[in-house]
């Protein structure tokens, strides 16, 4: 065990009462003071931002990614903990995971209850995240919550208020935090990391459109008209919509818009089974199926692909790469510090 850097970004774990509701305002040192630091771990705090995570933007996420790279440039750092709001934690964690190229862990955590709540879950989560960040290697970006360690890919918020807030609905957690340390069950599968995105302005617009009974292409076409370079189609079932939406997808793809297909169903992959506007037709129209990634993370995969290349064909290749799951390089010891 050694030095862990805590990057504070706000969220419920840093929230205090504002008279009519809670909002992030506490500094990272205040948050850290609530937790027990594991024996042998030294902690340095970086106050990067203090926002409720529903307000996060791509610019915020790029700032966080670059801050992580800067911290990991110091070989004395053993790992990073990011304290983050739970609303969009799954998006930021996956964004960093797609670009993370270091064996040292980046561990996201937060809280469902505010900073000064008598039954707050933040102190335990932060302790467990510090322990994880100081004692594992080659697992990519992780989410630690309620004594469980999850891979960033596939992990989403599954409870609005309960402390057991995160899970991969289509998979299993990779480790548990125990009295004896981190008990690892499996190694996450990750594609080769994408390079750090170049500074570009304006940042690409990526929208999400959900299909439903009576759904038509109006909102999908509105996203194209608004300048979206990527659209996530949140379809029904295994990835199904209508022939009219299929035609809208084909027209958008022909204009260079990158379209990703996911489902509003909580568990399971999208699959080419049905025609008449189903995933068979949507894939033929140029939509890229996203496996078990749900809407928020499918959008992040699109975003990273758009930031990686300016050519539509290159962007489509990058998107398919982010959706792959090639095994990470083997290491001698998963739990070595």
Buried b (16+ CB within 10 A) or exposed e, 65-87: bebbeebbeeeebbbbbbbbbbb
247 CB neighbour count, 10 Å cutoff = 14
299 CB neighbour count, 10 Å cutoff = 24
Nearest Cα neighbor of 265 from 159, 143, 169, 183 is 169
Verify whether residue 290 is a known catalytic residue. Answer: no
CA angle centred on 158, ends 94 and 334, rounded to 5°: 50
CA angle centred on 250, ends 261 and 194, rounded to 5°: 50
First to last CA, the chain: 6
Q: Which of 12, 86, 109, 242 is catalytic?
A: 12
Strand-pair partners of 282: none
CA 179 to chain centre: 28
- Which of 210-215's residues contact partners 24+ apart within 8 Å by CB, and which partners? 210/234, 210/264, 210/295, 211/235, 211/236, 211/240, 211/241, 211/242, 211/245, 211/264, 212/236, 215/241, 215/242, 215/245
- Verify cis geometry, omega within 30 degrees of 0, for the bond prior to 271: no
Residue whose tokens read 């568990």: 267
**What residues are labeled active site?**
12
């Amino acid at each position: 065990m050694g030095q862990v850097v805590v990057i504070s970004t706000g969220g419920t774990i840093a929230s205090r009462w504002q008279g009519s509701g809670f909002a992030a305002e506490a500094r990272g040192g205040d948050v850290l003071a609530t937790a027990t630091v594991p024996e042998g771990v030294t902690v340095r705090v970086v106050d990067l931002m203090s926002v409720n995570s529903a307000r996060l933007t791509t610019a915020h996420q790029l700032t966080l990614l670059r801050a992580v790279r800067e911290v990991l440039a110091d070989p004395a750092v053993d790992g990073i903990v990011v304290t983050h709001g739970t609303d969009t934690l799954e998006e930021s964690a996956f964004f960093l995971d797609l670009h993370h190229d270091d064996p040292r862990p980046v561990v996201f955590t937060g809280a469902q209850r505010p900073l000064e709540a008598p039954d707050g879950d933040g102190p335990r989560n932060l302790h467990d995240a510090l322990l994880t960040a100081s004692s594992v290697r080659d697992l990519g970006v992780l989410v630690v919550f309620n004594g469980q360690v999850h891979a960033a890919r596939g992990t989403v918020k599954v409870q609005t208020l309960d402390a057991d807030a995160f899970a991969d609905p289509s998979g299993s957690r990779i480790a548990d935090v125990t009295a004896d340390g981190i008990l690892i069950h499996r190694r996450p599968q990750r594609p080769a990391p994408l390079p750090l995105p170049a500074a570009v302005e304006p940042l690409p617009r990526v929208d999400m459109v959900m299909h439903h009974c009576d759904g038509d292409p109006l909102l999908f076409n509105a996203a194209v008209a608004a300048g979206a370079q990527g659209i996530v189609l949140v379809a029904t079932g295994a990835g199904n919509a209508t022939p009219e939406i299929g035609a809208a997808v084909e027209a958008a793809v022909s204009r260079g818009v990158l379209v990703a297909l996911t489902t509003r169903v909580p568990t399971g992959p999208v699959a080419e089974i049905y025609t008449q506007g189903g995933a068979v037709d949507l894939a033929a129209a140029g939509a890229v199926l996203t496996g078990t990634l749900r809407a928020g993370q499918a959008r992040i995969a699109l975003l990273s692909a758009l930031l990686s290349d300016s050519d539509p064909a290159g962007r489509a290749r990058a998107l398919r790469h982010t959706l792959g799951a090639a095994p990470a390089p083997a290491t001698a010891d998963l739990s070595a510090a």
